[in-house]
Amino acid sequence: MSADSGACTSVARGGVGESGASALLIHSIKGPHSKMIVLRNVESSLCPNTWALASLFVNGTPMASGNISTEGSSIQVEVSAGGSVAALIQAVPNFNRVSCVRLGEASIDLEECDLVSLSRTNETQAGVISTSNIVTRDWYAWNNTMPPKPDQFHLVGEVQVPNPGVDVVLLPRIPQGINPRILLMEIHLHQRPGIWPQFVVWKPVSYSKVNGDYDSVRVFHGNDLVVDTPVEVVQ
């Protein structure tokens, strides 16, 4: 979902590479509702010998992390009203023996997204992809109950998309089911404008929440159940 698209708004921007080895973006959630915070690589000329590794901290607690070196890749976390978010991006070598004349740059956006607006997006509007037979892999969900408190819930997976310009967002399904121990999630695909090479790529997705105590997770795309996975407890 692109910045300033109505449901999502860019609240901070930064980059790593030739502009510097690290970047710190900070934002506070205002208003009475929880928000989805997405840290996204919006444009990249970063040399392939360098990774952009990112972490999201909510009220000082690390909640999500991942490699966002590829343009369009992202990590995300749900943040309650009044919460503070810090995003740390670090450029690190990946020692693949690739050599570049210039290091290049990864441009990063921190976006605040309205959970209700996103989950009720009309799948027929321009830019939003509605497709059947979606392919996913490597789902894993866990409750991290290790000290210190609070406990943390995490869900990760990968989604296959038809071109690198397709962004993937993983959101709680509205409404949730009658069983509070089963978390219902939705996959949303959004095509960014521009001309993109048509080849299949895998996009990582993640969702994190403080004090999310669940037994299982069911992930949907539209009305189709994509995956039903148990939640492990890490103590």
Residue-range domain boundaries for the chain? 8-234
Q: N- to C-terminal Cα distance for the chain? A: 35
The pLDDT score that the predictor gives to residue 132 is: 59
pLDDT one-digit tens code per residue, 12-32: 999 999 999 999 999 999 988
Q: What is the mean pLDDT of residues 115-131?
A: 48
Mean of pLDDT over the chain: 84
What are the distances in angstroms from CA 200 to CA 3, 108, 139, 195, 213? 24, 23, 19, 15, 35
Kind of pairing between the strands at 136-144 and 128-129: unpaired
pLDDT one-digit tens code per residue, 145-177: 888 778 888 898 999 888 878 888 888 988 888
The answer to which of 72-76, 146-150, 181-185, 194-198 has the lowest mean pLDDT is 194-198
pLDDT one-digit tens code per residue, 202-225: 888 888 888 778 999 999 998 889
Say whether pLDDT at 128 is over 80.
no
Tally of CB atoms within 10 A around 217: 22
The pLDDT score that the predictor gives to residue 116 is: 55
- Is the pTM for the entire model greater than 0.85? no
Say whether pLDDT at 8 is over 60.
yes
Chain centroid offset of residue 140 CA: 15
Q: What is the mean pLDDT of residues 57-78?
A: 86
Q: How far apart are CA 53 and CA 22, in angstroms?
A: 9
